[in-house]
Structure 1
Amino acid sequence: MNELLHINSTSMDDFITAMTTEDPLSLLPSSTTEEDYDYDKFADMMCDRESVRNFRGNFEPPLFWLIAIIGGAGNLAVVWIYLHFRRRLKTMTDVYLLNLAVADLLFLVTLPLWAAEASHSWIFGTALCKINSALYKVNLFSSMLLLTCISVDRYIVIVQTTKAQNTQLKRRHYSRLVCVGVWLLAVVLATPELVFAEPAQAESMTYCRMVFPANVGNRTKILVLSLQVSMGFCLPFIVMAFCYSVIVAKLLKTRNFQKHKAMRVILAVVVVFVVSQLPYNAMLVVEVSQASNMTVTDCKAVKRLDVARQILKSIAYMHACINPFLYVFVGVRFRNDILHMLQCCFCIPTQTKKPPGKFRSPLSSTRATVMSDSDTSQALSL
Structure 2
Amino acid sequence: MAQLPFTEIPVTTDDSFEFEYAILDPSLFETPCEISGVIKFGRFFMPSLYGIIFLTGLLGNLLVIVTYICYVKLKTITDIYMMNLAIADMIFLCTLPFWAVDGYTDWIFGPFMCKIMNGLYTINFYSCMLTLACVSVNRYNFIVQSTKMLKSKTKMVHSKLVCTGIWVLAIILTLPEFILSEAYTGIPDRIICTMVYPPNSDIIKVGVHVTQMVVGFLIPFVTMIICYTFIAKTLLHAKGRQKSKSLKIIIAVVIVFIICELPFNIVLLMQTLEIMSEESMSCEYRVNVDYAIIVTEGIAYVHCCLNPILYVFLGVKFRNNFLKILKDAGCISQKQLAKYLKTEYETSQQKSGISETTSLHPL
TM-score range, shorter chain: 0.7 to 0.9
Of 27, 33, 49, the residue aligned with 1:63 is 49
Q: 1:251 maps to what in 2?
A: 235
Partner of 2:275: 291
Identity %: 36
Moved more, 343-352 or 149-158: 343-352
Aligned-residue offset at 1:298: 1.5
Residue in 2 that maps onto 1:27? 24
Within 5 Å, give how 1:92-171 maps onto structure 2: 92-161=77-146, 163-165=147-149, 168-171=152-155
SS at match of 2:192: strand
Report the CA distance shift for 1:285/1:91 in structure 2 as closer, same or farther (over 3 A): same
Quick check: 1:172 aligned with 2:156?
yes
Displacement after TM superposition at 1:359 (Å): 9.1
> Structure 1 stretch 345-354 or stretch 288-297: which is displaced more?
345-354
Give a deviation string over 1:347-379, Cα, whole Å, max 9, x none: 4323342496999587668999xxxxx9x4243
- With normalisation by structure 2, the TM-score equals 0.87
Instruction: Quote the Cα distance in structure 2 between the aligned partners of 1:130 and 1:357.
Output: 52
Q: Relative to structure 1, is the Cα distance of residues 109 and 189 closer, same or farther in structure 2, using a 3 angstrom cutoff? A: same
1:181 paired with 2:185, answer no
Question: Is 2:335 the counterpart of 1:351?
Answer: yes
Distance in 1, Cα, partners of 2:210 & 2:114? 22
Aligned-pair distance for 1:138? 0.5
Q: Match of 1:10?
A: none
CA distance in 1, matches of 2:261, 2:342: 45
CA distance in 2, matches of 1:357, 1:232: 42
The partner residue of 1:213 within 198, 214, 229 is 198
Q: Provide the C-alpha distance between the structure 2 equivalents of 1:51 and 1:316, rounded to a whole number of angstroms.
A: 22
The CA RMSD measured in Å over matched residues stands at 2.6
Provide structure 1 residue ranges, at least 5 long, that are not aligned to the other structure. 1-20, 30-36, 369-373
SS in structure 1 opposite 2:65? helix
Task: Indicate whether 1:325 and 2:322 are aligned.
Answer: no
In 2, the alpha carbon distance for the partners of 1:294 and 1:215 equals: 13
User: For residue 223 of structure 2, what is the aligned residue in structure 1?
Assistant: 239
Q: Which has the larger radius of gyration?
A: 1
2:13 aligned residue: none
Gap change, CA 1:181 and 1:78, over 3 Å in 2 = same
Deviations along 1:142-171, one digit per CA (max 9) or x if unpaired, are: 00000000000000000111x435983321
Contact 2:264 2:293 in 1 (8 A): yes
**1:32: which partner in 2?**
none
Measured in 2, the distance between the counterparts of 1:182 and 1:364 equals 40
Distance 2:80 2:293 in 1: 34
Equivalent position to 1:379, from 343, 359, 362 = 359
SS, match of residue 259 in structure 1:
helix
Look up the SS of the partner of 1:206 in the other structure: strand
How many pairs were matched up?
342
1:305 maps to 2:289: yes
Task: Find 1:224's aligned residue among 208, 216, 235.
Answer: 208
Match of 2:252 in 1: 268
